[in-house]
């Protein structure tokens, strides 16, 4: 959608939305793609995936190595951030503390008890790095 200047259809709501350029940039930054280089990188990815598709190859995030590397780095960074938020670490900063409090509030609003929230978050913290 970004390359064709089109919109993206939300799979849940069906609404048409603009491509999330902030998210694209956050992935590209993982492999030092910034500024004007981003357009070229996005064109390369689309050209590669289009070519692979025409050859009948199965397309996944792993199909184009630079994209795979960027996505995996972004995921690892996100897991580290989530891990810091959900563990009761002394190193949690004010922003992480706020995110933790918001997460607990959301779980309470969904009917979870304080005890079950603690159990869920301990489980998540212990299993984020596995796999």
pLDDT, residue 118, reads 86
pLDDT in tens, 17-54: 888 889 999 999 999 999 889 989 999 999 999 999 99
pLDDT in tens, 58-109: 999 899 999 999 999 998 888 888 877 887 666 678 888 888 889 899 999 9
pTM above 0.85? no
Question: What tokens appear for 2 in the block?
Answer: 């970004």
- Euclidean distance between CA atoms 41 and 54, whole angstroms: 20
Closest CA to 46 of 35, 36, 59, 33: 59
11-to-2, 15, 17, 28, 82 alpha-carbon distances in Å? 17, 8, 11, 24, 25
């Amino acid at each position: 959608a970004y390359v064709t200047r089109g919109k993206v259809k939300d799979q849940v709501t069906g609404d048409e939305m603009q491509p999330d350029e902030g998210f694209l940039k956050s992935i590209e930054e993982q492999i030092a793609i910034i500024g004007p280089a981003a357009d070229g990188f996005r064109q390369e990815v689309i050209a590669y995936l289009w070519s692979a598709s025409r050859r009948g190859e199965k397309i996944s995030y792993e199909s184009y190595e630079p994209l795979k590397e960027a996505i995996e780095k972004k995921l690892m960074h996100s897991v580290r951030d989530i891990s810091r938020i959900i563990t009761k670490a002394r190193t949690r900063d004010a922003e992480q503390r706020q995110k933790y409090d918001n997460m607990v509030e959301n779980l309470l609003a969904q009917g979870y008890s304080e005890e079950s929230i603690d159990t869920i978050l301990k489980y998540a913290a212990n299993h984020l790095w596995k796999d």
